[in-house]
């Protein structure tokens, strides 16, 4: 009984700051005020989101989030592998990756305005080396760059954690059985690192879909992502019910994707290759 006492504050915290806000979002999403002033249940606000305009915004948000996740994986996996397996000064390099995360998210994004603007650092460097300047600010490319910069550590850290804790005897056994470096990686290292990869995908894709600060600053208001749409409904338009409906739909989509990811993670890995052997 004494140990359960320490659980109650956590349950209270979750109830106040997680469950109650979620219930309020769901309540506003499925209710409205009728002509007589009474609260009535309705699916009108949920159905509004299925207008082609809003579906296009959602698809564009998913597209940019997928691109960001793919780039973070391509960049993050080699870095995590080098840190876990080969780099002797890994603590210092991890420190360099974590230092930007100590800064405010808004300040980190503002820094990219200085880098990408017409007279910014990037174009100054290109002019110095004799290359033509580029106009990246307020484009999809700028938004993706900002997303990759802010979310890359969330891909590296879970993969690094899994690779660091991997049993080295499995790699040694594969090498003793005649597997070269490529086969050791494709048959042993990468399959065993799948849980970290899935965690990285989740931690990058989810905030990538719902981000609005990055698209506001680096996109310059030239286009709207689903996070910007929700922000507009709550702050500018004042339509809390439609904003809650969009949020509720996103919650359902995110939960469905997490269920699929969890199902994939539970699938058993093939233990044998062609010809009946492991390698």
Helices 52-85 & 140-164 angle (0-180, nearest 10): 40
Q: Is the pLDDT of residue 49 over 80?
A: yes
**List of E strands, 133-244:** none
Q: Between residues 94 and 251, which one has the greater pLDDT?
A: 251
pLDDT of residue 41: 93
Q: Is the pLDDT of residue 267 over 80?
A: no
State the chain's mean pLDDT as an integer: 86
Torsion of CA 246, 249, 255, 258, to 10 degrees: -80
Could you tell me if 112 and 145 are in contact, meaning their C-beta atoms sit under 8 angstroms apart? yes
Q: Is the pLDDT of residue 271 over 60?
A: no
pLDDT of residue 82: 87
Identify any residues that bridge with 39 across adjacent strands, giving them in sequence order. 33
CATH 1.10.3720.10 fits 49-269, yes or no: yes
pLDDT of residue 30: 94
Q: What percent of the chain has pLDDT over 70?
A: 93
Q: Which helix (H) or strand (E) holds 40?
A: strand 39-41
**Mean pLDDT, range 135-160, rounded to an integer:** 92
Domain spans in the chain, listed from the N-terminal domain onward: 1-42, 49-269
pLDDT digits (tens, 9 = 90+) for 88-102: 777 777 787 778 788
Q: Is the pLDDT of residue 276 over 50?
A: no
pLDDT of residue 249: 94
pLDDT of residue 223: 75
pTM equals: 0.86
Identify any residues that bridge with 31 across adjacent strands, giving them in sequence order. 41
pLDDT range class, residue 114, cuts 50, 70, 90: confident
Q: Is the pLDDT of residue 272 over 50?
A: no
**Mean pLDDT, range 233-257, rounded to an integer:** 91
- Number of H helices and E strands in the chain, helices first, is 15, 2
Q: Is the pLDDT of residue 278 over 70?
A: no
Nearest in space to 144 (alpha carbons), one of 41, 227, 61: 61
pLDDT range class, residue 268, cuts 50, 70, 90: low
């Amino acid at each position: 009984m004494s140990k359960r006492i320490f659980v109650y504050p956590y349950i209270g915290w979750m109830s106040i700051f997680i469950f109650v806000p979620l219930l309020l979002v769901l309540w506003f999403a499925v209710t409205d005020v009728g002509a007589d002033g009474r609260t009535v249940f309705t699916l009108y606000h949920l159905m509004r989101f299925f207008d082609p305009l809003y579906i296009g915004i959602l698809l564009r948000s998913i597209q940019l989030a997928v691109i960001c996740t793919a780039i973070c994986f391509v960049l993050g996996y080699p870095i995590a592998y080098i840190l876990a397996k080969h780099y002797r000064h890994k603590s210092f390099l991890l420190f360099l990756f974590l230092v930007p995360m100590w800064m405010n998210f808004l300040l980190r994004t503002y820094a990219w305005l200085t880098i990408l603007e017409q007279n910014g650092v990037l174009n100054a460097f290109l002019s110095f080396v004799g290359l033509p300047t580029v106009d990246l600010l307020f484009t999809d490319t700028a938004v993706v760059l900002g997303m990759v910069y802010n979310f890359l550590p969330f891909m590296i850290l879970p993969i690094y954690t899994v690779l660091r804790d991997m049993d080295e005897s499995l790699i040694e056994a594969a090498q003793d059985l005649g597997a070269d470096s490529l086969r050791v990686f494709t048959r042993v290292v990468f399959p065993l690192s799948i849980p970290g990869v899935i965690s990285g995908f989740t931690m990058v894709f989810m905030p990538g879909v719902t981000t609005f600060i990055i698209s506001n600053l680096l996109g310059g208001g030239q286009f709207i992502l689903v996070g910007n749409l929700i922000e507009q409904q709550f702050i500018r338009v004042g339509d809390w019910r439609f904003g809650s409906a969009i949020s509720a739909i996103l919650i359902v989509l995110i939960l469905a994707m997490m269920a699929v990811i969890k199902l994939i993670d539970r699938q058993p890995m093939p233990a044998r290759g062609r010809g009946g052997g492991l390698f």
